[in-house]
Amino acid sequence: MHRHLLIAALLLSALPPSLAQHTLTPDAALPGAQTALLPTLFATSHASELILLRNGDVLCFWFSGSHEGESNVAIVMSRLPKGSLTWQAPVLVDREPGKSYQNPVPIEAPDGTLRLLHTSQSAGQGQADAQVLEVDSHDLGRTWSGHTVLFAQPGSFVRQPPVLGPRGQLILPIYYSTSSGIVDGADTNYSTVKIAAAHSSTWTECRVPHSEGLVQMSIVKLAPRRFVAFFRSRYADHIFRSASANGCDWSAPVATQLPNNNASIQAARLANGHLVIVFNNVSGHHPGHVLQTGKRSPLSIATSADAGLTWTAVRDLEAGDPNSPNAVTEADEYSYPSVLQLPSGNILVTYTYRRQAIKSVLLPESWITQGTTRGEYHPS
């Protein structure tokens, strides 16, 4: 058996029985929350992204295959139908021999078309030749078109969902992974936004100033002409924050109170105006301005009442093993979150669970204030 397949099989066999189900049910390890693992299609799973459709269904996309970066790693999708707590069996959305797909980003267009963007890179070659592809569905994700190339510039990467601008234009955060990996040479990576007017296929690009080494920009729309964004840092030091009045002109990112481990984050605005952010509450091992990575646990969720200037409550979704080594280990990896608020008011989070599956957690905002974190940041 291939080494990666063997590792995935061993990890899957070690799953607690309470997690070997696909219906959101109360979890004794997270009192007050409900959890489920999404059903799997291939050996490993990573980088989930949620979307709430206008018909009330929730779709979750992620990439899945033998292992990240290898040939035939596919984009797959599971559906949580409106009113249901059970994730349906995943379906294959896009796959190609010789290519490794990553980072799906779904968009529901005004005409009902479901657009799915994702990256494509040559298998085994790293990220520097990546492009962004698009596949479309006209039946709410039940069938999909063949893919086309949306952004061809080598190193083009997506990860976070778009927001709508003050005139209805689509504001899509992207970044350029100009290095082969996430450490060596990654100080050349930088963030931009692509903007397209409503019903237009023409994109303009706005570069985020001083964003070298800051990627996977998570944009939150606070008001028609007020946006904030939060960034992953290749230096594994802090989550960074930037602001804009139009979605194109951004302030230079500045460090927040929250640590970062050179892994993905995601933020969202709740109906009451509060922000939530899901992140690994840990930084890298080496002090100073050093390109590095950090552990991918614990995975925590935090709330802010002042647009992300301060974060007043933090609670762990996955505490992880405090004795695990600093290096990223898949056996203790909880990462790449997606978060949105449902019409019920509850918050739905999905994330990578040890690379073997995508885990989902359903919780009220009040749940966040009723627990603690073993991570680095503790509200004062």
- Residue 345 domain flag: yes
Residues 6+ apart with CB under 8 A from 239: 230, 231, 232, 233, 255, 256, 258, 259, 260, 265, 277, 279
**What is the tally of structural domains in the chain?**
1
Over residues 143-154, mean pLDDT: 97
User: CB-hemisphere CA count at 13 Å for 6?
Assistant: 3
Across all residues in the chain, what is the average pLDDT?
93
- Structure tokens, 294: 């950090």
CA dihedral for 77, 79, 80, 84, sign (positive or negative): negative
CATH code of the domain in which 227 resides: 2.120.10.10
Position 290 scores a pLDDT of 96
- Residue 374 domain flag: no
- Residue in this structure with the two tokens 């890298």, named with its chain if needed: 284
pLDDT over 70 (residue 14) = no
Total-model pTM? 0.94
- Residue 85 domain flag: yes
- Structure tokens, 197: 């007017």
pLDDT in tens, 80-109: 999 999 999 999 999 999 999 999 999 999
- Residue 376 domain flag: no
- Residue 375 domain flag: no
Going by C-alpha positions, the residue among 306, 226, 303 that lies closest to residue 268 is 303
- Name the pLDDT band for 291 (thresholds 50, 70, 90): very high
- Residue in this structure with the two tokens 């899957």, named with its chain if needed: 12
pLDDT over 90 (residue 50) = yes
Q: Which domain holds residue 84?
A: 3-368
- Residue 34 domain flag: yes
- Name the pLDDT band for 325 (thresholds 50, 70, 90): confident
- Residues listed for the chain: 380
Position 20 scores a pLDDT of 56
- Residue 15 domain flag: yes
Over residues 111-140, mean pLDDT: 96
- Residue 377 domain flag: no
